[in-house]
Amino acid sequence: MLIYLDIDGVMVPANSWRRPEILEDGFPNFSSRAIKALDRIISKSGADIVLTTSHKSLYSSKKWIAIFNKRNLYINKITSLPENRNHLNRKDELLKWFDGKVIDNNFVIIDDDKSLNSLPRYLKDKLIQTSGSVGLTEYLADEALKILEKSKFETA
């Protein structure tokens, strides 16, 4: 199982009136609510992370794991989409990624990007869209787990 994960607006709420706390590793701290919610998704599903964030190319997978660990999130495996050299919006970046691939249906996309509202149905049905100023919540974690649980039966 995979979680296609954005960071800004999901793990780090984007509030214009408040700068995020930057930890010693140089990356913003995640909200405690988002940490709790993502930890529950991972612990119940065993899902790995595929980073879709615009920050994805800043660090190696090993460094990303250290960033998550520093924030009390323990991930089995982190990969990322390829660097977005063509400056595609998130929807087009995901469409390019999934185009022509034989994909395992066991995934969920967690992102606040509004361009994802126009994804084709087979991807939009896998989308958990956060409010950018709130981020990932327990309710949205429940919804993500429902998508992952449903996908287990669809591929069985």
The domain over range 2-155 is classified in CATH as 3.40.50: yes
Q: Is the CB of residue 47 less than 8 Å from the CB of residue 75?
A: no
Give the bridge partners for 12, in sequence order.
Answer: 8
Distance in angstroms (rounded) separating the CA atoms of residues 128 and 108:
7
What's the pLDDT tens digit per position in 83-107? 999 999 999 999 999 987 767 789 9
Report residue 100 as tokens: 């022509």
Binned at pLDDT 50, 70 and 90, residue 156 comes out as very low
State yes or no: pLDDT of 34 exceeds 90: yes
Report residue 128 as tokens: 């958990």
Single-letter amino acid, residue 41: I
Q: Is the CB of residue 129 less than 8 Å from the CB of residue 25?
A: no
Q: Comparing C-alpha atoms, which of 138, 146, 105 is closest to residue 32?
A: 138
Q: Comparing C-alpha atoms, which of 57, 54, 73 is closest to residue 14?
A: 54
Distance in angstroms (rounded) separating the CA atoms of residues 76 and 20:
26
- CB within 8 A of 149, min separation 6: which ones? none
State yes or no: pLDDT of 31 exceeds 90: yes
